[in-house]
């Protein structure tokens, strides 16, 4: 019961926090029979929550034992079907025995359940797929060996891709691959268990890599992010699937230049560094430089002022209603979270406490001072939440407008630098997207 209640609450919290959550191939997650879902792990609890939200039956998780550090945590996490495991890199947690944990995993699968494992072993907000641990393969092979299952065990790969996944109103894409059985490994596992586990782990890694845009190393990932940021190909309003395709396109081009045209690659890095320096010097957002000159007269002087005029009162109302929980979250988060991998889940959990309290206080205020009916106030709560999201986006919109007009002013006082920016952007586009010349 607790699992389903929290699944519903946290699921809706995620949908509020993220602008877009797309799960492709989610029907594969809901097949009958025993299944192990294996996935890359860039965003800690969010990865697990997204899977749980889209699987109809309860799912079980292998979770690091340090989370089970006291009786209360142990009780509540067990209610959420989490199975503790002591990892070699962590201190051993008292009361957690890996033999019992593996036995619990076997029983879940032998009862036709679904087990989720992140075989990288830890979570880092990056696209590089790290070396996989053999635990998922060993559990699957051992279950097949015990011959207590009615149907063949299936392994289902999932690949996560985030667009600034720790940020509020960002996007996430989960690609679910085709599941596969492991019957072919059964006899080989009996003869060579360690080697067979490694072979199956490599198959799992290959399956996940097909679903993500994995970078070779962190330096490559940083360069790709710099290119996307500088050229602003990652528009906030683009579908996350399009963003992944663009990311893949830039990655392939970078690799191509590194191998076949190293001189152009070095020139590319120099152009990015030059452009970043000029943008920092002018204190102007790249988006302003790229889009401001292409705006029509009607957009700049008629439609935009009209939108600001109409939207500003909604912005003020949304800000007033939501400012206390929003600012409280901003104040508490740096004290509660030190790594961006935990930012989104902690922010969601904090928001699920602060925003309902805020709306409850608002309900009491309007009911006591203005005699509004409870039904009316409750009905307005979803609207006030929507106004809060609008206020957030409107504030960002005003920043963009400020940057665009700042660009127009800078164009008159820093003509030479602006010309360098425009010329460098053209060169970068030609280097990254040569077919678009």
Examine the fold and report which residue of 192, 209, 226 is the final residue of a domain before the chain moves on. Answer: 209
Higher pLDDT, 287 or 10: 10
Could you tell me if 10 and 352 are in contact, meaning their C-beta atoms sit under 8 angstroms apart? Answer: yes
Query: What's the Cα-to-Cα distance from 369 to each of 195, 358, 363, 373, rounded to whole Å?
Result: 72, 16, 10, 11
- What is the number of domains present in the chain? 2
Give a three-class secondary structure readout of 111-132.
CCCEEEECCCCCCCCCCCCCCC
163 and 308 within one domain: no
The domain in which residue 401 lies consists of 217-437
Percent of the chain predicted with pLDDT > 70: 94
Phi, psi (deg, nearest 5) at residue 164: 55, 60
As a whole number, the mean pLDDT across the chain is 89
Question: How much is the pTM?
Answer: 0.92
Other CB atoms closer than 10 Å to residue 20's CB: what's the count?
17
Whether residue 290 has pLDDT greater than 70: no
Clarify whether residues 385 and 351 are in a common domain.
Answer: yes
Query: What are the tens digits of pLDDT across the range 212-235?
Result: 998 888 889 999 998 988 877 545
Closest CA to 229 of 295, 172, 279, 169: 279
> The CATH number of the domain where 150 resides is what?
3.40.1130.10
Give the span between the Cα atoms of 308 and 397, in whole angstroms.
9
pLDDT tens for residues 117-160?
Answer: 999 999 999 999 999 999 999 999 999 999 999 999 999 999 99
Give the model's pLDDT for residue 114: 98
Alpha-carbon distances, residue 26 vs 51, 294, 387 (angstroms): 9, 40, 31
Last residue of a domain, one of 173, 192, 209: 209
């Amino acid at each position: 019961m607790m699992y389903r209640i929290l699944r519903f609450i946290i699921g809706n919290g995620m949908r509020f926090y993220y602008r877009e959550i797309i799960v492709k191939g989610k029907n594969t997650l809901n097949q009958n029979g025993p299944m192990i879902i294996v996935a890359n792990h860039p965003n800690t609890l969010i990865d697990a929550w997204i899977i749980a939200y889209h699987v109809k039956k309860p799912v079980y998780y292998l979770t690091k034992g340090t989370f089970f550090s006291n009786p209360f945590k142990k009780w509540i996490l067990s209610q959420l079907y989490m199975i503790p495991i002591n990892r070699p890199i962590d201190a051993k947690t008292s009361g957690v025995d890996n033999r019992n944990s593996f036995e619990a995993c076997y029983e879940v699968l032998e009862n036709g359940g679904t087990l989720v494992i992140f075989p990288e072993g830890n979570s880092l907000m990056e696209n590089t797929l790290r070396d996989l641990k053999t635990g998922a393969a060993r559990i699957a092979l051992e279950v097949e060996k015990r011959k207590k299952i009615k149907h063949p065990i299936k392994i289902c790969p999932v690949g996560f891709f985030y667009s600034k996944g720790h940020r509020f109103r960002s996007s996430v894409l989960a690609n679910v691959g085709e599941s596969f059985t492991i019957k072919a490994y059964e006899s080989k596992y009996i003869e060579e268990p360690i080697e067979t586990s490694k072979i199956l782990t490599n198959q799992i890694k290959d399956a996940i890599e097909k679903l993500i845009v994995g970078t070779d190393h962190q330096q490559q990932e940083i360069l790709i992010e710099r290119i996307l940021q500088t050229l602003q190909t990652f528009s906030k309003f683009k579908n996350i699937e399009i963003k992944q395709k663009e990311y893949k396109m830039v990655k392939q081009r970078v690799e191509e230049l590194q191998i076949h045209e190293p001189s152009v690659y070095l020139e590319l890095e120099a152009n990015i560094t030059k452009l970043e320096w000029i943008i920092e010097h002018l204190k102007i957002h790249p988006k302003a430089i790229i889009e401001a000159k292409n705006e029509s007269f009607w957009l700049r002087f008629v439609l935009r002022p009209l939108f600001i005029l109409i939207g500003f009162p909604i912005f003020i109302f949304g800000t007033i209603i939501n400012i206390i929980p929003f600012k409280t979250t901003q104040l508490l988060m740096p004290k509660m979270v030190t790594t961006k991998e935990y930012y989104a889940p902690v922010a969601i959990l904090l928001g699920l406490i602060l925003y309902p309290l805020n709306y409850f206080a608002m309900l009491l205020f309007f009911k006591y001072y203005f005699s509004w009916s409870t039904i009316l106030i409750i009905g307005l709560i979803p609207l006030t939440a929507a106004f809060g999201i609008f206020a957030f986006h409107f504030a960002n919109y005003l920043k963009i407008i400020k940057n665009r007009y700042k660009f127009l002013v800078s164009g008159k006082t820093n003509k030479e630098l602006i010309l360098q920016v425009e010329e460098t952007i053209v060169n970068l586009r030609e280097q990254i997207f040569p077919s678009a010349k």
